[in-house]
Amino acid sequence: MIIKNQAMLITYADSLGKNLKELNEVLTTHLQGVIGGLHILPFYPSSGDRGFAPINYKKVDPAFGTWEDIRALSANYYFMTDFMINHLSQASEEFQDFLLKHEESQWKDLFIRYKEFWPNGEPTEAEVDLIYKRKPRAPYFEAQFSDGSKEKVWCTFDEQQIDLDVTTATTKQFIKENLNFLVDQGADMIRLDAFAYANKKIGTNCFFVEPEIWETLEESAEIVRNKGAEVLPEIHEHYSIQEKIADHGYYVYDFALPMLVLYSLYSGKVDRLAHWLDRCPRNQFTTLDTHDGIGVVDVKDLMTDNEIEFTREKLYEQGANTKKIYSSEAYNNLDIYQINSTYYSALGDDDEAYLLARALQCFAPGIPQIYYVGLFAGKNDIDLLERTKEGRNINRHYYELDELKEEVQRPIVQKLFKLLQFRNTCDAFNGEISVEKRTEHELTIVWKTESSKATLLADLAKKEFSIIEEKAGSEQEIQF
């Protein structure tokens, strides 16, 4: 199935119902016409990080279902799945074979071994300081082998996530086999998770290392293109990286939009948002929310440091049950560039502000992605947060089927569904965009083809908007 210019749902396999079959039931019962694409977050057997420590890409976690369930879903939507190009589970057969057989393992070149990577087997203090890392020390896991020896292997994230050496023939073949397999199961897009960390090079910060990163990206893209699919590299960092990747012809994420929209709604000012909508890549997927927190680092230089700090403080001040401690080490959160909250609660559980935020997303350049909690205007799940002491779980509510029957009746959810149905069916969004800042607080966004036109008139200070569609010589305002 080709990629459609229609909203894509992001969900876990067990978040809208308990498994893939129940997810399919939710989609067919409640979401007909609301979404055209589906991204199911990692559904493989995993040893940590809610699926992002994959053990085997050729299996579906039995708790979720089977490949038959995945293929049934992918047949009805343009479908995206994840490939963690940077790492593999410590519990994988490949790493366990390495621990067992050490130098005799066929997988010894799959991983980055300190003794082979660093000239003296260890980085200098200066080299450690240079690395763009997630830990307050050199990124490694000390592997203990069955022969009694020990050595350090590169480990950027959790100890369950062992980094891959993307430069070796062994890893290149591993990547090729698994990407081919996933496309054969129905994937139209492969999300390359933690992509910017994939290449490591002495003398660099080991993050988006050029020119090597381009070789890794093109090799992966070429594999799936041969089967009619695309890749989507996932990177949280300065917006210029997204622009650079888009200039090379790849799809990218718009991770700057969430903070820009929050700033615009908190301040009532449209200047920063209008500037970004004018310049941002067109071949992108837009987000307001994801399974992680609300990204902060992505808007550096699109907003001043004072504006970013203003937005952070307003989020904690106006957000519903959004506290700084939820994004701290106390709740297992070391990503200082992300804030843990649902987008609905970040806007104070305010229906008008939230619907305007989604209208802005729908009119922004690119294909809108909407996270499942956001699709149902979900509030912060404090119970799950406190039970698990995991900050990101504030935005990872588990919906039961009966609960969803009630949620879809909420007026804000009905209005959001109607907005997305309009976005999916209006031909104007296949045309050209123009953005006009009418006043300090008012913004007009117009999409236009030869035969249709869609106009968003928004007042961010009053949290009011209207949408007007023109086609076949007639004009009508979309009612919510």
Pairing label, strands 367-371, 432-437: unpaired
Q: Residue 286: which H helix or E strand, with range? A: strand 284-286
Are 288 and 343 contacting, i.e. CB atoms less than 8 angstroms apart? yes
Nearest to 107 by CA among 169, 194, 193, 152: 169
* Active-site amino acid positions: 193, 234
Please, what's the b/e burial string for 399-422 (b: 16 or more CB within 10 A of its CB; e: otherwise)?
beeeebeebbeeebbebbbbbbbb
Q: Could you give the residue ranges of the DSSP H alpha helices within 280-340?
A: 305-318
Say whether the peptide bond before residue 211 is cis (omega within 30 degrees of 0): yes
Q: DSSP for 250-270, please give it.
A: --EEE-SHHHHHHHHHHH---
HSE-CB of 429 using CA atoms within 13 angstroms: 23
In whole angstroms, give the CA distance from residue 432 to residue 424: 16
Question: How far are the Cα atoms of 262, 375, 377 from residue 353, in angstroms, in the given order?
Answer: 10, 15, 11
Instruction: Determine the distance from the C-alpha atom of residue 312 to the mean position of all C-alpha atoms in its chain, rounded to a whole number.
Output: 20
What residue type is assigned to position 455 of the chain?
A: T
Cβ partners under 8 Å of residue 309, min gap 6: none
Nearest to 49 by CA among 328, 388, 289: 388
* Residue in this structure with the two tokens 């939710």, named with its chain if needed: 26
Look up residue 400 and give its two tokens: 């039961």
Are 457 and 444 contacting, i.e. CB atoms less than 8 angstroms apart? yes
In whole angstroms, give the CA distance from residue 96 to residue 33: 45
Question: How far are the Cα atoms of 67, 79, 230 from residue 2, in angstroms, in the given order?
Answer: 20, 9, 10
In whole angstroms, give the CA distance from residue 250 to residue 239: 15
Nearest to 335 by CA among 327, 326, 325: 327
Q: Three-class SS of residue 336? A: coil
- 3-state DSSP helix/strand/coil percent for the chain, to nearest 5? 40, 20, 40
In whole angstroms, give the CA distance from residue 57 to residue 92: 10
DSSP tag of 45: -
